[in-house]
């Protein structure tokens, strides 16, 4: 494992490091909400410190698991029970546990091109094979190459709403990719950590259309709680037992105080609609600038990202943009077919900062 870890390239951190060295840089590179955790959530966490704060149960506090089961029932159309929920140290903790328990060194995990970088990083740490294929064609249909790749893979990962594209799967797309996975005896992992941030349409879970699947969830982005490190995985109890072995060997248990905070966020969630409305307004502002720039792009239907094609090497563009006061993430590390695209996070800035940054981009490109 030492050799594998040494070979991992945290290339996107080059953008963050360079941006941090400069003054007055608009940060579109950080995939984090600009909102702070709601006050009532913080207060619930503070009150919980009067309670016992030792290790929590390895699977999570019962009341937390029950609330997550309710959340997933409303979201996915499935009806998971408490014993089908495992609480984890962040959504990444859930993904790491599933990858580790499901995949051997000879097994292949399939990711979309582009995808969230840590999928590949976790595979490289674990030593399993991975492959990237663009799932959807320009008409939104599942590509033949993707169908073939799903048949060959041990696991297919689907992310909706998507990072970095902002794509939200339609019911047809969710059903189609799930049915291909089911017919291929391929396990489907549905990463739905942005499910509350659907800006257009509604959320459909691919896991609702195949029994051999698991769902990843988190409070990080949906509730502006990235630093609380609280996520979950929904799957059959016998599979959770295997995931729990991984979690136990890495973090022992999910943090107790974060579970009390997350319970309050799920019970009293009026803050979510306000955040979502703000994100939609920012998305619409960004779209106007992208239109003016003449870049090829897909309007993000969810999450907090746009992924336009800038028509040139994404690394060169992003490194030069930092010198002009804007930090943007290159698309190349997210997939080989994305080397001329960039990820712009509109969730991490105010509307005024968004305009300021995009005006700098316009000036640079004019």
Domain spans of the chain?
2-37+271-365, 40-267
pLDDT of 6: 56
**Residue from 147, 197, 141 nearest 168 by CA:** 197
In contact, 81 and 302? CB cutoff 8 Å: no
Burial of 316: CB neighbours in 10 Å, binned 0-12, 13-18, 19+: exposed
φ, ψ at 109 (rounded to 5°): -100, 140
Q: How confident is the model at residue 53 (pLDDT cuts 50, 70, 90)?
A: confident
Q: How confident is the model at residue 2 (pLDDT cuts 50, 70, 90)?
A: low
As a whole number of angstroms, the distance between CA 258 and CA 147 comes to 40
- Domain 40-267 annotated CATH 3.40.640.10: yes
Q: Mean pLDDT over residues 316-339, rounded?
A: 96
pLDDT of 114: 98
In contact, 41 and 340? CB cutoff 8 Å: no
Q: How confident is the model at residue 9 (pLDDT cuts 50, 70, 90)?
A: low
CA distances from 255 to 61, 77, 83, 90 (A): 10, 28, 19, 10
What SS3 state is found at 305?
strand
Q: How confident is the model at residue 3 (pLDDT cuts 50, 70, 90)?
A: low
Q: Give the DSSP letter of residue 220.
A: T
Give the H/E segment covering residue 306: strand 305-306
Fold annotation for 2-37+271-365:
3.90.1150
pLDDT of 314: 96
As a whole number of angstroms, the distance between CA 290 and CA 309 comes to 10
Q: Mean pLDDT over residues 36-46, rounded?
A: 98
Q: How confident is the model at residue 75 (pLDDT cuts 50, 70, 90)?
A: confident
Q: How confident is the model at residue 316 (pLDDT cuts 50, 70, 90)?
A: very high
The answer to whether residue 170 scores a pLDDT higher than 80 is yes
């Amino acid at each position: 494992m030492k050799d594998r870890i040494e070979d991992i390239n945290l290339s996107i951190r080059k953008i963050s490091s360079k941006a941090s060295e400069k003054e007055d840089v608009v940060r579109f590179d950080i995939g984090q909400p600009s909102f702070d955790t709601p006050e009532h959530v913080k207060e619930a966490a503070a009150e919980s410190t009067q309670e016992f704060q030792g290790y929590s149960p390895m699977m999570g506090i019962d009341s937390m698991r029950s609330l997550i089961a309710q959340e997933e029932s409303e979201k996915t159309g499935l009806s998971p029970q408490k014993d089908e929920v495992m609480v984890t140290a962040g959504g990444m903790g859930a993904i790491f546990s599933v990858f580790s328990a499901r995949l051997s060194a000879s097994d292949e995990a399939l990711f979309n091109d582009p995808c969230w970088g840590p999928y590949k990083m976790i595979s490289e740490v674990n030593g399993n094979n991975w492959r990237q294929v663009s799932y959807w064609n320009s008409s939104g249909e599942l590509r033949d190459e993707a169908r073939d790749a799903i048949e060959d893979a041990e696991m297919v990962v689907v992310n909706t709403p998507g990072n970095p594209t902002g794509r939200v799967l339609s019911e047809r797309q969710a059903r189609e990719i799930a049915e291909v996975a089911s017919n291929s005896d391929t396990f489907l992992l549905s990463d739905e950590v942005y499910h509350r941030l659907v800006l257009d349409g509604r959320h459909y879970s691919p896991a609702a259309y195949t029994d051999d699947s698991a769902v990843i969830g988190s409070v990080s982005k949906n509730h502006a709680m990235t630093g609380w490190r609280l996520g979950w995985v929904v799957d059959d109890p016998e599979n959770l037992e295997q995931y729990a072995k991984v979690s136990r060997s890495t973090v022992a248990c999910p943090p107790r105080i974060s579970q009390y905070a997350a319970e309050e966020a799920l019970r009293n969630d009026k803050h979510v609609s306000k955040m979502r409305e703000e994100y939609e307004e920012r998305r619409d502002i960004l779209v106007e600038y992208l239109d003016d720039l003449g870049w090829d792009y897909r309007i993000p239907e969810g999450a907090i990202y746009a992924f336009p094609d800038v028509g040139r090497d994404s690394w060169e563009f992003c490194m030069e943009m930092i010198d002009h006061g804007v930090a943007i993430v290159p698309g190349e590390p997210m997939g080989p077919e994305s080397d001329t695209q960039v990820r712009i996070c509109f969730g991490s800035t105010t509307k005024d900062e968004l305009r300021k940054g995009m005006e700098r981009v316009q000036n640079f490109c004019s």
